[in-house]
Amino acid sequence: MYILKLIFKNAFRHKLRTWLTILGITIAILAFGLLRTVISAWYAGVEASSASRLVTRNSISIIFTLPLSYKERIRQIDGVKIVSWGNWFGGIYIDEKNFFANFAVDPKTYFELYPELIISPDQKAAFIRDRKGFVAGRKLAERFGWKLGDSVTLRGTIFAGQWDFVMRGIYRGRDKTVDETTFFFQWDYLNEKMKKSSPARADQIGFYMIGVTKPEIAADVAVNIDKTFKNSVAETLTETEKAFQLGWIAMSQAIVTAIQLVSFVVIIIIMAVMANTMAMTARERIGEYSIFKTLGFGGRYIAALIFGESLIISMIGCAFGIAFTFPAAKSFGNALSNFFPTFNVATETIYMDIAAALLVGTVAGIFPTLRSIRIRIADGLRRIG
């Protein structure tokens, strides 16, 4: 107990220097935590993916469509449990800055295939009955103040024109990784308007979502689907939902890598600052450590004093940094909700914060400890005063 009391008092002997170092560590841990949370948010779709779902798209590119008639042939493939379909709509609400994902989907099969989207039976039934009905995520509805029965108009970009909808439901996520900022409307409404305005684009699907009976047969089912449509007018590429999500992330992999590098650079910089603080502290107390040696205290005792002080400072800064990460992440997530529908501090991020602080405290104490242990008593006593 005495050594712990001595370590704590030593840590705050120079209060200004100690608190400035703690402040630096706090900012570094806060920055590190936010950057790691950004990376987690980038991969949120991957983490939320189901192993029992497949995505089928045109083998050339996602921007090319597939015929609606494919759905019956896909249903007949062994291992397929359910088939749904949809199109990316790309509509704009009032202004381009109000971006949110919006899809035309088959309402009966889509919510069955995605049980993590929780919607009341009454609202789901109302959505299915109303051809112009739409369902929005809880966060999206709160963002624009939409209520059940409200009329909403989107300006089409891929599908030109003014599209009128009526809000029939609000869904919420089963867990924190579920995106609650998406807009869904009936694919039949889109298809009917295409038949009138652009017949060549009618009965065309952007992608199929397929549920399989068992996750372990997903790969075989994907191969069979692609074999079925090989050498057809529109060949397919079928992959797991996770692989599909990773494909989107791969387009921005350079950005993700840069963020990862910056997060580690932040820790390296604060490690250098902490090492400098501990070097100054050890240099000032070299005479005291020499006196400890004359009294019979060995190198382990001196190492415990230095490492203990270093770890106390780094862990206090870590605690403050973690405490500030949560409100900062909430504000950051609200400000960038268009880009990050889910922005939550993961438990793994907290563990990484603690590990980073322990690493900083440990590395910062190594060289001062070695110098204090190796210096001769006579040389150390000359430094008194």
The per-residue pLDDT for range 227-237, each reduced to its tens digit, is: 999 988 899 99
Is the domain of 220 the same as that of 127?
yes
Of 379, 376, 378, nearest to 299 by C-alpha is: 376
Output the pTM of the full model: 0.73
Q: What residue numbers bound the domain in which 34 lies?
A: 2-44+252-381
One domain, residues 102 and 230: yes
Per the domain annotation, does 70 fall within a domain? yes
> What digits encode the pLDDT tens for the residues 251-310?
666 777 888 888 888 888 888 888 888 887 777 777 777 777 787 777 788 888 888 888
Is 222 found in the same domain as 314?
no
pLDDT confidence band for 320 (50 / 70 / 90):
very high
Burial of 145 (0-12, 13-18, 19+ CB in 10 A): exposed
Rg of the chain on CA atoms, in Å: 30
Residue 50 lies in a domain: no
264 CB neighbour count, 10 Å cutoff: 12
The answer as to whether 77 is a domain residue is: yes
Q: Which residues share a beta bridge with 66?
A: 205
Number of domains in the chain: 2
Output the pLDDT for position 233.
Answer: 86
Listed in sequence order, the residues at least 6 apart from 356 whose beta carbon sits closer than 8 Å to its beta carbon are 29, 32, 267, 318
Look at residue 126 and give its three-state secondary structure: helix
Task: Tell me, yes or no, whether 314 and 224 share the same domain.
Answer: no
The verdict on 32 and 172 lying in the same domain is: no
What pLDDT sits at residue 290?
A: 77
Residue at a domain's end among 234, 264, 294: 234
Q: Give dist(CA 64, CA 113) in Å, integer.
A: 23
| Same domain, residue pair 83 and 216 | yes
Percent of the chain with pLDDT over 90: 43
